[in-house]
Amino acid sequence: MRELLYALRFGLPLLAVVTNLSAYTHTVKKGDTLYSLSRAHGVSVEVIVKANPNINAAALRVGQTIEIPGQPNVTGSGTTSPPAVSVTGGGVPTVHVVKKGDTLTAIAKQHKVTVSDLTAWNKLASPQINTGQKLKVSAPPLTVTSTMSATVSGTDAVSASVKPAPPAKPLTVIQPPPEKYLFVSRVKKQIDAPKISRQWKYIVVHHSGSRRGNAAIFEYDHRRRGMENGLAYHFIIGNGTDSGDGEIEIGGRWRRQLKGGHLRTELTENGVEINETAIGICLVGDFEKDRPTRKQIAALIELVNYLNKRAVAAGYAKPRFTVHGTIHPRHTDCPGKNFPKAALFRMFGAGSGE
């Protein structure tokens, strides 16, 4: 689906639909939001809203059509436009056998393509070509399959093998952009820096129990209390007092992949201290009295998802999301009654120790 959409952006026509490079008309389905559309089509919400001044951004109606700017406009006339590209059944790239006296420039001119296209399609390291050499003079074929919901007459499941003739540029399927992080991106390098050297089985969320603080303050406090590795947590998420609202700070224990110091040492699992396998995330605030800020929760969701991804990428199982009071119920109510535990347990799966 995404490959199709990205291909569409670069002008690939679908079989039996008319396209032009102005806008794509999307028919709103159940569950669609401007945000989900913006993500799916790689354009910002603002751009969509600007292109559709009459829509109610808070309440899209099912069946409503929305212009997605910068997308090929797909309409249902049932004819193929006279495009710069043509649809072929086989999708086999045209091949030119080099004859004596041929040059790249002459071949490019003959097939109405550019020298750089030829170089790219044939992965040529130098402009030198040899007699008898076979050169691709069109882009490799691309098979596109879509179940896109758009105002297309007939079927909305389209499958076509398309070959541009002659293409202006080599046809490549643009990969979707890498996932964007609103909070993690600022510290992504620091999170990624240490190689994960142990199986983290839990992600345990705490609150600081104080209305303000940051990693440096807690580090000082924990050292003063005799913790030789300093800050007991691996991550701190600020509340806008002594660090930014939703700002993620990385503790030394994460950088050095050390065990946490955030749970009681007597808490064990199969004879192993749970601190050995539990990542500690502390949200600054006293959630017995206040609520975590919206940005703190947003940062927490992103961080947990990112840590899960990293664990899986490193070949480990996803750590279980839980909170201090759940893992050690007789000892503490941390992270406080106002922490949205129920919703986050639902969000991160049934194995969250609820």
Partner 1 sequence: MKIGSVQIGWALTVTVALGFLMPWVRFAPTAAFDDQAEIVAQLAEDNWLCDYVLMNNHDWRALRQNPAAGESGLQVALTGRDADDAARALAEILFGEAGFKNKALLLAPLLAAAGAVALMRWKKARHWLIALMVTQAAFYFYLRWQLRDAYVNRLVLELNWGVWLTLYGLALMTLIMSVRALLPPKVKW
Residue 253 interacting with partner 1 (CB under 8 A): no
**Under rule CB under 8 A, residue 50 binds partner 1:** no
Give the residues across from 18 on adjacent strands.
Answer: 75
- Minimum CB distance to partner 1 smaller for 174 or for 343: 343
CA distances from 301 to 182, 237, 246, 275, 308 (A): 11, 11, 11, 21, 11
Q: Binders of partner 1: how many residues, by CB under 8 A?
A: 30
Q: Is 312 in the site for partner 1 (CB under 8 A)?
A: no
Nearer to partner 1, 180 or 195 (CB): 180
Q: Looking at this protein, which amino acid is placed at residue 158?
A: V
Among 39, 169, 212, 264, binds partner 1 (CB under 8 A): 39
Among 46, 192, 269, 290, contact with partner 1 (rule: CB under 8 A): 290
Of the pair 33, 229, the CB lying nearest partner 1 is at 33
* Spatial contact of 281 and 342, defined as CB atoms under 8 Å apart: no
Residue 1 binding partner 1, by CB under 8 A: no
Q: How far apart are CA 113 and CA 297, in angstroms?
A: 53
Given a contact cutoff of 8 angstroms between Cβ atoms, the answer to whether 168 and 120 are in contact is no
Restricting to residues 320-349, name those near partner 1 by CB under 8 A. Answer: 337-338, 340, 342-344, 346-347
Taking CA atoms, 349 is separated from 144, 181, 188, 275, 328, in Å, by 34, 21, 24, 22, 19
Considering the complex, what minimum distance in angstroms separates the CB of residue 294 from partner 1? Answer: 4
CB 78 within 8 A of CB 153: yes
Instruction: Pick from 121, 183, 200, 218 the residue near partner 1 by CB under 8 A.
Output: 183
Residue closer to partner 1 by CB (options 209, 340) is: 340
Q: 134 or 337: whose CB is closer to partner 1?
A: 337
Whether the Cβ atoms of residue 20 and residue 73 lie closer than 8 Å to each other: yes
